[in-house]
Amino acid sequence: MNAPEPAVTRPMPHVMNTYGRLPMALSHGRGCWVWDTEGKRYLDALGGIAVNTLGHAHPKLVRALQDQVARLIHCCNYYQIPLQEQLAAKLCELSGLSAAFFCNSGLEANEGALKIARKFGHDKGIARPEIIVYERAFHGRSIATLSATGNPKVQKGFEPLVEGFVRVPLNDLAAVEQVAATNPNVVAVFLETIQGEGGINPSRAEYLQGLRRLCDERGWLLMLDEVQCGIGRTGKWFAHQWAGIQPDVMPLAKGLGSGVPVGAIVVGPRALNVLGPGNHGTTFGGNPLAMRAGVETLRIMEEDGILANAAAVGEVLTGALREGLTAEIAAGTVKDLRGAGLMIGLELDRPCGVLLGRAAEAGLMISVTADSVIRLVPPLIMTADEARQVAAILVPLVRDFLAKG
């Protein structure tokens, strides 16, 4: 008789098993470096997935948050919250838009954007408004944002999905024009300026300009999800600014609070008055602690020249990767190296999820997304020397993986 299989004990048995976690736990961080509970040091090229804009334990941010915690952490939105106005005014100044609503995450910001689009349609007399969304998009894991997402793998098991979405490929303006010609219920176009989870896929400048023109002609909302690519990551405050356009609705989150949960929906004139009292709300959104984190993040970024640093160090990192992987690029085993600033995707010709663990063993934190794309979204304070260290660790791992599997 065979002996019973030994029970597998998970290291976090009381936490729901929804993540494929590596066997390590982080203890603390400084700048672009973190240490695990065993004392091992890692170079952070992941930034909490584009969250830790100012790295870890930035002294200016730490002091500001300590001050705010001692003053007021939370109050509800029954009352005026001056820090909300301060952060909203700054976001409007940086974007050229008109007003902001604050929530807690990118998912919530995207969910709110979808509500704005639907209400916008109903206000125009369209009973069943539809929104153009994209193949390989990712907007979150609530039922509505999951329905807008273009990844059947993460949708499986959660059907029926929410209706009202029309899906097109990225950077194909003719496909959007065809929908425009045949579907009178469309009210908005919703896309990531650079697709993150889909594999670091940028929208071309001329494509964004074409969408802006088409939305103006049709009276649609142009809604640009800048949750991952916004807040200076590409070397401009918002990635769409490289195309010289403005959206009507812009969800933000991730890097806005440098690790403190905060999301925002920033809107322009066309969407400014769509929502009114009672149409949307949140308990925690816009709390004083999160608002202080956002205000201080943007202030420190301006003081320390973080946008210019992101652009310059992104070029260093991309250049070092390109130089180190010249042979693999020529052979086609490295299919592409793309992105902007410090949002970089290195696409291989095969699934490479195993590199997540191998990089950690080598003292480097990265991400693998869309099965075969190594994603690098480090803190925007990363130095050129640290960028070269990232490449010095990652290039041999990629070359060995491509040679041996």
DSSP letter, residue 188: E
pLDDT of residue 9: 67
Distance CA 155, CA 149 (A): 8
Say if CB 288 and CB 70 are below 8 A apart. no
On the 0-12 / 13-18 / 19+ scale of CB atoms within 10 A, 240 is buried
Query: Would you state the pLDDT for residue 405?
Result: 73
Q: What angle do CA 162, 239, 227 make, to 5 degrees?
A: 40
**Amino acid identity for residue 273 in this structure:** N
Q: If you count them, how many residues does the chain have?
A: 405
For residue 101, the number of C-alpha atoms closer than 13 Å in the C-beta half-sphere is: 29
Q: What is the mean pLDDT of residues 105-111?
A: 98
Sorted by where each begins, the domain ranges of the chain are 26-57+305-404, 72-303
Q: SS in 3 state form for 15-47?
A: CCCCCCCCCCCEEEEEECEEEECCCCEEEECCH
Number of H helices, E strands in the chain: 13, 17
How high is the pLDDT of residue 286?
Answer: 98
Report which residue type is found at 217: E
Count of CB atoms situated within 10 Å of the CB of 210: 18
Residue 1: predicted pLDDT: 42
pLDDT tens digits for range 1-51: 455 555 556 789 999 999 999 999 999 999 999 999 999 999 999 999 999
Contact (Cβ atoms closer than 8 angstroms) between residue 161 and residue 196: no
C-alpha distance from residue 254 to each of 117, 260, 329, 347 (Å): 22, 9, 31, 23
At residue 10, the pLDDT reads 77
Cβ partners under 8 Å of residue 54, min gap 6: 60, 61, 258, 297, 300, 301, 306, 379, 380, 381
DSSP string, 278-298: TT---SSTT-HHHHHHHHHHH
3-state secondary structure of 14: coil
Task: Please name the residue that has the structure tokens 């640009």.
Answer: 224
- Partners of residue 218 on adjacent β-strands: none
Q: What is the mean pLDDT of residues 95-112?
A: 98
Bridge-based pairing of strands 364-365 and 41-44 is parallel
Q: Phi and psi of 242, rounded to 5°?
A: -65, -25
Contacts of 380 (CB under 8 A, 6+ apart): 47, 53, 54, 232, 233, 255, 301, 306, 309, 310, 342
User: How many Å apart are CA 212 and CA 218, to the nearest integer?
Assistant: 10
Q: What is the pTM of this model?
A: 0.96
SS3 category, 323: helix
Q: Write down the mean pLDDT value for the chain.
A: 97
Please tell me the predicted confidence (pLDDT) of residue 7.
Answer: 55
Locate tokens 């639907």: which residue?
Answer: 118
The residue to which tokens 């990767």 are assigned: 321
> Do the Cβ atoms of 227 and 110 come closer than 8 Å?
yes
170: which strand partners? none
72-303: which CATH architecture? Answer: 3-Layer(aba) Sandwich (3.40)
Chain centroid offset of residue 322 CA: 24
**Chain segment 155-203, per-residue pLDDT in tens:** 999 999 999 999 999 999 999 999 999 999 999 999 999 999 999 999 9
Express each pLDDT in 206-247 by its tens digit.
999 999 999 999 999 999 999 999 999 999 999 999 999 999
Instruction: Indicate the helix (H) or strand (E) that contains 117.
Output: helix 106-123
Q: What is the spatial distance between Cα 183 and Cα 388, in angstroms, rounded to a whole number?
A: 50
In terms of DSSP H, where are the helices of 166-305? 173-182, 205-218, 288-303
Residues 6+ away with beta carbon under 8 Å from 164 = 118, 128, 129, 130, 131
Q: What is the CATH number of domain 26-57+305-404?
A: 3.90.1150.10
Cβ atoms < 10 Å from Cβ of 115: 16
